[in-house]
């Protein structure tokens, strides 16, 4: 390899340090409505798991930002645990609940039973 093509060790070290600093976690407030704020408790990990479930399983109908209505499903930010369980596990509504939309498009997703607490943590920051 010619000396013109070699990367000086100092430049390589600087690039490595810049890359490492860019990968460190932030200790700042959320920058968007869908970002979960850092917390010293285990709640952040639970909410992050809920965010992942929400983004992969719910955004086909609901908005990627749960505070906004989606193309098919309504906004879901602040949904109670009781409502989530009824809608996700049984495609039903809790007794006395007034739906935001009259459509019946949502199907039961019983495979998400173990993720209800995570979804609730994400939707209720």
CA-CA distance, 43 to 56, in Å (whole number)?
Answer: 20
Q: Copy the structure tokens of residue 94.
A: 């809790």
The closest of 35, 41, 30 to 55, measured between CA atoms, is 35
How would residue 6 be classed by pLDDT, with cut points 50, 70 and 90? low
Instruction: State percent of the chain over pLDDT 90.
Output: 61
Cβ burial, residue 75 (10 Å; 0-12/13-18/19+):
middle
Task: Kindly give, in sequence order, each residue whose CB lies less than 8 Å from that of residue 110, ignoring residues fewer than 6 positions away.
Answer: 88, 89
CA-CA distance, 55 to 58, in Å (whole number)?
Answer: 6
Mean of all residue pLDDT scores within the chain: 79
Task: Kindly give, in sequence order, each residue whose CB lies less than 8 Å from that of residue 17, ignoring residues fewer than 6 positions away.
Answer: none
Q: Is the pLDDT of residue 63 over 50?
A: yes
How would residue 104 be classed by pLDDT, with cut points 50, 70 and 90? confident
Instruction: State percent of the chain over pLDDT 70.
Output: 66
Residues 79-83: what's their mean pLDDT? 97
Residue with tokens 């798991």: 49
Residue range 26-60, pLDDT digits in tens: 333 344 444 434 444 566 999 999 999 999 999 99
Contact between 87 and 107 under an 8 Å Cβ cutoff? The reply is no
């Amino acid at each position: 390899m010619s000396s013109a093509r070699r990367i000086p060790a100092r430049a390589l070290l600087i690039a490595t340090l810049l890359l490492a600093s860019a990968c460190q976690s932030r200790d700042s407030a959320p920058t968007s409505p869908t970002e979960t704020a850092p917390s010293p408790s285990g709640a952040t990990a639970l909410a992050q798991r809920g965010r992942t479930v929400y983004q992969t399983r719910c955004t086909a109908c609901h908005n990627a930002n749960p505070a906004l209505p989606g193309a098919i499903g309504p906004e879901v930010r602040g949904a109670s645990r009781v409502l989530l369980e009824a809608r996700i596990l049984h495609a039903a509504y809790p007794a006395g609940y007034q739906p935001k939309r009259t459509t019946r498009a949502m199907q039961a997703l019983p495979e998400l039973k173990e993720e209800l607490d995570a979804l609730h943590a994400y939707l209720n920051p």
